[in-house]
Amino acid sequence: MEKVIKLHDRNFKVMIPADKIEVAVSAVADKINADYREKKNPIFIGVLNGSFMFMSDLLKKIDFCCEISFVKLASYCGTCSSGEVTNLIGLNRDIEGRDVIIVEDIVDTGASIEHMVAELQRHNPASVRICTLFFKPNAYKRSIPIDYPAMEIGNEFIVGYGLDYDQLGRNLKDVYVVTE
């Protein structure tokens, strides 16, 4: 029997098991390792809350000297993107002249990441690239390149491995999709 879990009012079933996530995280870490090995102390900026688990697993696989920081940018409500973005909170590092890698949980329409990149660019970093655990190419409506997508998915709503449904489900080690 397929395992179904209930979060608030909705049922979810496993879509991507933890071992598949680990393979994808390793593959994206390999690409970043290859591209950044010659750079001077790049800084990874995780976007809270959703990226906490990905950030932890990804950074364990990064083999060059780097800094780690987190910011917060809330733009989502329930199961549909609100389209609204709020301000960037917690950028407490001077990123001028630095190579920055943003670490996101998921890029959907791209509104949040576009806002995030614009905010970071105001501080004159040497470079900004985007790493995201999940990318929804069919929903993406912006032109900024998504440099390091670990996994591409359709437009389904997913939870687990950091991603929530109204704050529940972030602790799940597998990724779940809503069922009817």
Binding part of the chain for Mg ion, among 9-17, 30-38, 41-49, 80-88 by CB under 5 A, reads 41-49
Summarize the chain as % helix, strand, coil (round to 5).
20, 35, 45
Helix axes 18-36, 52-60, angle to 10 degrees: 60
Within a 13 Å sphere around the CA of 88, how many CA atoms are in the beta-carbon half? 22
Which of 99, 105, 108, 174 is labelled catalytic? 108
Out of 119, 147, 164, 166, the only residue in the binding site for ligand 5GP (CB under 6 A) is: 164
Out of 18, 48, 62, 81, the only residue in the binding site for ligand 5GP (CB under 6 A) is: 81
Is 164 a known active-site residue? no
Q: Does 7 bind ligand 5GP (CB under 6 A)?
A: no
Instruction: State which residue has the least CB distance to Mg ion.
Output: 50
Question: Which residue, 123, 132, 130, 60, is CA-closest to 101?
Answer: 130
Chain positions contacting ligand 5GP, by CB under 6 A: 50, 75-76, 81, 104-113, 157-159, 163-165
